[in-house]
Structure 1
Amino acid sequence: MADQEVKLLGVWASPFSKRVEIALKMKGISYEYVAQDLSNKSPELLKYNPIHKKVPVLVHNGKPICESLVILEYIDETWKSGPSILPKDPYARAMARFWAKFIDDKCFPSIWKIRKSQGEEEREKAIEEAKEQLAILENELKGKKFFSGDEIGLVDIAANFIALWVGVVQELVGVELLTKEKFPRLCEWSDDYLNSSIIKETLPAKDELLDRFRAMFQRTD
């Protein structure tokens, strides 16, 4: 049953869609990828995610699962092949959920706020706020190669945005945020993560991502 029809509705440049692709590849699951245009949402997307109308959506045997972190847990619980995405220990699982949610609720909004800020004062405030969140993650990495230990797990996959997309935002906006001087552990983690074979083959090339976001920013400015 678990290895039947698997479809992923996603967007190429989305760190949230890429989370799901990474998890599927880690588990060795064959799937159909259905690219979406969020400026012209498909009937399929509206059918499978009528509440939020967002990607990613995993469709397994005709049943949709929405929200990337929920999907990652579903994949881990449904397919036992390949490495575990969440730890087996209940406390460690709870902590992994906590840090993944921290990344989504605190880190992602604070970093994106830099791009949206208006004026020097507002931007400086946004940068300081983002640095505070990154400093918390820097401390969480103490003594570990990945957030999950020696292998990539839920928190590392959730931190996709920090590993690749932060560098794109920095370059486009012209700020220094994630530097080896300020955040040596996070930078080392990012290098190890991006050089892992499944991650490397799944995430977009930085130059292509830069072009995509530059075009997007020009349309919205």
Structure 2
Amino acid sequence: MAGEKNDGLVLLDFWVSPFGMRCRIALAEKGLPYKHVEEDLFGGKSDLLLRSNPVHKKIPVLLHDGKPVNESLVILQYLDEAFPETPSLLPADPHARAHARFWADYIDKKLFECGTRIWKLKGEPLMQARAEMLEILKTLEAELGEKEFFGGEHGFGFVDAAFAPATAWFQTFESYGEFSVAEVAPRLAAWAARCGERESVARSLYSPDKVYDFIGGLRKKLGVE
């Protein structure tokens, strides 16, 4: 792309996006320097974003030497492949890699989708979303089991990086859904605390209070409240 020549990495992002957060975590885990470009998703998306992701027109987008890579889970896999000398997020074993991809996809299609419904809805639809979220959290806790991280022997890995941003949103889900992650899935809450102790996660996420305040303002704009 003309005008975007760069010998490094550029991340087009929006601060509160859990999908952008996971890319920040992955880049930090790998120790890869990059330029962060904050997009104004409400005031007008940049021409760079619209050219880089003409299909979905959304963040995150990773530019590598000016070439765009779209969709956060695709970006995480791309970073493993493009920078094989850095710590791998995915395990080496093909079955373990497929297993990790399955759970990361589950997190996107189930947890984040349900979480959005929790803060957007009211009444019976909200209660239905709440019930679904409780089951999703229990399912994820069962997958975690007694492991320190979802990566198991591999350590903090692909699923952890994909899921960790949700911990910044837990307060929002809990508040509007009227439940406690610590009560529903205590091992998952302990995992969230361990993630928060990692430098890659701590420096990539915004505080739950700030996320909650942002969503409160967004609910008012959308007429939910």
TM > 0.5: yes
Query: Does the 8 A contact of 1:10 with 1:35 survive in 2?
Result: yes
Which of residues 130, 133, 141 is equivalent to 2:133? 130
Letter in 2 for 1:190: A
Distance in 2, matches of 1:123 and 1:208, equals: 22
Runs of 4+ in 1 over 6 A off after TM superposition: none
- Cα displacement (A) at 1:44: 0.5
- Cα displacement (A) at 1:141: 0.7
2:100 pairs with 1:89: no
2:207 pairs with 1:214: no
SS at match of 2:33: coil
SS at match of 1:159: helix
Letter in 2 for 1:116: K
What TM-score results when the alignment is normalised by the length of structure 2? 0.90
SS at match of 1:139: helix
Distance in 2, matches of 1:107 and 1:152, equals: 20
Distance in 1, matches of 2:218 and 2:120, equals: 13
Letter in 2 for 1:215: G
Query: Does the 8 A contact of 2:130 with 2:177 survive in 1?
Result: no
SS at match of 1:181: helix
Question: After superposition, what is the alpha-carbon deviation per residue over 1:97-146, rounded to whole angstroms, capped at 9, x for unaligned?
Answer: 00000001111112221222231x32222111111111110100112011
Which of residues 12, 18, 22 is equivalent to 2:21? 18
Distance in 2, matches of 1:168 and 1:122, equals: 17
2:68 pairs with 1:69: no
Residues 122, 213 of structure 1: alpha-carbon distance in 2 compared, 3 angstrom cutoff: closer
SS at match of 2:206: coil
2:158 pairs with 1:169: no
Distance in 1, matches of 2:71 and 2:62, equals: 9
SS at match of 2:203: helix
Instruction: For structure 2, list consecutive stretches of 5 or more residues without a partner in the other structure.
Output: 1-5
Instruction: For structure 1, list consecutive stretches of 5 or more residues without a partner in the other structure.
Output: none
Query: Does the 8 A contact of 1:127 with 1:177 survive in 2?
Result: no
Distance in 1, matches of 2:32 and 2:114, equals: 34
Letter in 2 for 1:200: A
- Cα displacement (A) at 1:174: 5.7
Per the alignment, residue 48 of structure 1 pairs with 52
Query: Does the 8 A contact of 1:28 with 1:81 survive in 2?
Result: no
Which of residues 187, 190, 211 is equivalent to 1:188? 190
Report how many residues are paired: 216
Q: Taking every aligned residue pair, what percent have the same amino acid on both sides?
A: 41
What TM-score results when the alignment is normalised by the length of structure 1? 0.92
Question: After superposition, what is the alpha-carbon deviation per residue over 1:64-98, rounded to whole angstroms, capped at 9, x for unaligned?
Answer: 00000000000011112332100010000000000
Per the alignment, residue 199 of structure 1 pairs with 201
Query: Does the 8 A contact of 1:108 with 1:161 survive in 2?
Result: no
Distance in 2, matches of 1:25 and 1:166, equals: 22
Distance in 2, matches of 1:112 and 1:212, equals: 13
- RMSD (CA atoms): 1.6
Per the alignment, residue 3 of structure 2 pairs with none
SS at match of 1:147: coil
